[in-house]
Amino acid sequence: MIYTVTLNPSIDYIVEVENLQLDALNRMKRDLKLPGGKGINVSRILSRLGIENTALGFVGGFTGRFIEDVLNAESVVTDFVNVQGDTRINIKLKHGEETEINGLGPEIGSGEADSLAEKLRTLTSDDIVVLSGSVPPSLGGGYYDRLIAVIKERGARFVIDTTGDALLKALPYGPLLVKPNHHELAELFGVEIDGREDLILYGRRLLEMGAQNVLISMAGEGALLVTKEQVYHANVPRGEVKNSVGAGDSMIAGFVGTLATTGDPLFALRTGTASGSATAFSDDLAEKAKIESLLPQVQVNPV
């Protein structure tokens, strides 16, 4: 089973306005409410690919109930910890460009934090846990370390998709996959990256620090998979980019889900790249048919 963990989920409230006028009444052209959060995005794509998974994390209030209802309707099993405060709402205001206003999220108490860690004590060596996104301040900077300790104790594998110190602290535990984009990789090592050779150099550095696989997304330039044996490049399919939200999460879902079910890292790279592109070409997260239609366009070659 694949489990996803989203520590600070949200409702993403997408509002489109024709011509935004400040200090005046504006009427929406359209609006859309979606469950948000990186791990939740991974769960939704896994479910659309027909891969069983369970979404974990913290939800609260009427906004939390909305997220659970949508996920259950999409055949995602949920086992959230319910908290006292309301799950946050993030506003994405589209007016030619996009303006984002993100909520803070609820305070997580120590008992609630303990409850989530306890849920991981049922894991087995057949399970994979995807840890995605930042850690809310109320949980403290070492909360991922605490969850990883339980995961490793149970013999399960984990994927971590975060940045900065949280990622660096996780590397010695041997994550199955890390997925920085080219900007995040440069920030992680405090360097300027100039071309593919630099990406491979620092991708291999992450392997030396403990990662088992490094997946580097490069926007229109495709993706690199850096393994201990070889480096592979996948091209990006053709299409019109409509959406920047969730493409990286979709790539992780396609890669991890395919790797877990087939054991083939190259097919996983193709599926991950097609999944990320399909979401970028859609208004919401990609549907299975869109992902499958792009798969033939994705070619993987050794570098």
- What is the signed CA dihedral for 261, 262, 264, 265, rounded to 10 degrees? -10
SS3 of residue 223 by DSSP: strand
- What is the signed CA dihedral for 75, 284, 58, 273, rounded to 10 degrees? 80
Catalytic residue among 12, 127, 161, 249: 249
Domains of the chain from N-terminus onward: 2-8+37-87+108-302 (3.40.1190.20)
User: For residues 121 and 126, what is the distance between their CA atoms, to the nearest angstrom?
Assistant: 13
The pLDDT of residue 284: 84
- Show the CA angle centred on residue 53, arms to residues 47 and 54, nearest 5°: 120
CA of 258: how far to CAs of 45, 76, 219, 303, in Å? Answer: 12, 17, 21, 22
What are 171-220's pLDDT values in tens digits?
999 999 999 988 999 999 999 988 899 999 999 999 999 999 999 998 88
Mean pLDDT of 16-40: 92
Q: How confident is the model at residue 37 (pLDDT cuts 50, 70, 90)?
A: very high
User: For residues 175 and 103, what is the distance between their CA atoms, to the nearest angstrom?
Assistant: 30
pTM more than 0.85? yes
User: For residues 80 and 84, what is the distance between their CA atoms, to the nearest angstrom?
Assistant: 13
CA of 164: how far to CAs of 133, 141, 151, 197, in Å? Answer: 11, 11, 21, 22
Q: Which residue has the tokens 């593919």?
A: 196
- Strands of 28-36's sheet, edge to edge? 28-36, 10-17, 88-95, 97-101
State the pairing for strand pair 177-178/157-161: parallel
What are 241-279's pLDDT values in tens digits?
887 788 999 999 999 999 999 999 999 999 999 999 999
Amino acid at 259: L
What are 154-176's pLDDT values in tens digits?
999 999 999 888 899 999 999 99
What are 79-110's pLDDT values in tens digits?
999 999 999 999 989 888 889 899 988 999 99
User: For residues 166 and 144, what is the distance between their CA atoms, to the nearest angstrom?
Assistant: 7
**Is 249 annotated in the active site?**
yes
CB count in 10 Å sphere of residue 1: 16
DSSP secondary-structure letter at 89?
E
DSSP class per residue in 178-216:
E--BHHHHHHHHT----SHHHHHHHHHHHHHTT-S-EEE
Average pLDDT across the chain, whole number: 94
Report the number of secondary-structure helices (H) and strands (E) in the chain: 10, 15
Q: How confident is the model at residue 141 (pLDDT cuts 50, 70, 90)?
A: confident
Given a contact cutoff of 8 angstroms between Cβ atoms, the answer to whether 88 and 110 are in contact is no
Amino acid at 124: T
Please check the confidence at residue 69 and state whether its pLDDT lies above 90.
yes
